[in-house]
């Protein structure tokens, strides 16, 4: 059954919580809890994730996103041996969202619009949560560092 999302009706949400300063291992020293949710509930909970780093990588990906890719694969600068803590893979006409840490290779299948909305909402949520920690995220996102 086709719908406005091109036959990719799944919903995805990236939630962020518990921002804390933890020192130099994370970008700006801020880590938090990230949860990936789909239609069937929580897919995975990732603890002590450098949330500013993830927000920056998502923001850069969103700037150039088109229906033809590229995929998004989050690899923390502090843990380069674990690619795919969060990923969005193109699977035309849909996108697969998941994590290498999700149980049983569970994924959410959604539209590009759904992926872009989840990523944009995550960046906005990180901005709201790190302001009390003295971080101007919009300014930081526009800097050239990784």
pLDDT digits (tens, 9 = 90+) for 74-93: 998 888 888 999 999 999 99
**Could you give the angle at which helices 112-130 and 51-63 cross, rounded to 10 degrees?**
140
Q: Which residues contact 142 (CB under 8 A, 6 or more apart)?
A: none
Q: What is the pLDDT of residues 38-49, one digit of tens each?
A: 988 999 999 999
Question: Are 56 and 38 in contact, with CB atoms under 8 Å apart?
Answer: no
Neighbouring CB atoms inside 10 A of 92's CB total: 11
Quick one: which of 116, 112, 89 has its CA closest to 100?
89
Per-residue confidence (pLDDT) for residue 23, from 0 to 100: 66
Residue 1 predicted with pLDDT over 60: no
Dihedral-angle region of residue 6 (phi above 0 means left; psi in -120 to 50 means alpha; beta otherwise): left
Mean pLDDT of the chain: 88
pLDDT at 4: 47
CA-to-CA distance for 12 and 36, rounded, in angstroms?
7
pLDDT value at position 26?
Answer: 54
Question: How far apart are alpha carbons 58 and 97 in whole angstroms?
Answer: 13
- Residues 5-36 have pLDDT tens digits of 568 989 999 999 999 987 665 557 799 999 99
């Amino acid at each position: 059954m086709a719908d406005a999302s091109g036959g990719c009706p799944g919903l995805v949400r990236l939630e962020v919580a518990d921002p804390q300063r933890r020192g130099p291992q994370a970008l700006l020293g801020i880590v938090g809890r990230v949860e990936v949710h789909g239609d069937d509930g929580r897919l995975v909970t990732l603890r002590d994730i450098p949330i500013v780093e993830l927000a920056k990588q998502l923001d850069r990906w969103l700037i150039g996103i088109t229906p033809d890719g590229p995929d998004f694969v989050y690899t923390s600068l502090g843990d380069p041996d674990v690619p795919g803590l969060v990923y969005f893979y193109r699977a035309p006409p849909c996108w697969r969202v998941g994590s290498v840490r999700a149980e049983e290779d569970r994924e959410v299948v959604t539209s590009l619009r759904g992926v872009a909305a989840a990523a944009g909402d995550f960046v906005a949520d990180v901005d709201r949560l790190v302001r009390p920690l003295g971080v101007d995220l919009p300014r930081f996102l526009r800097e050239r560092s990784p």
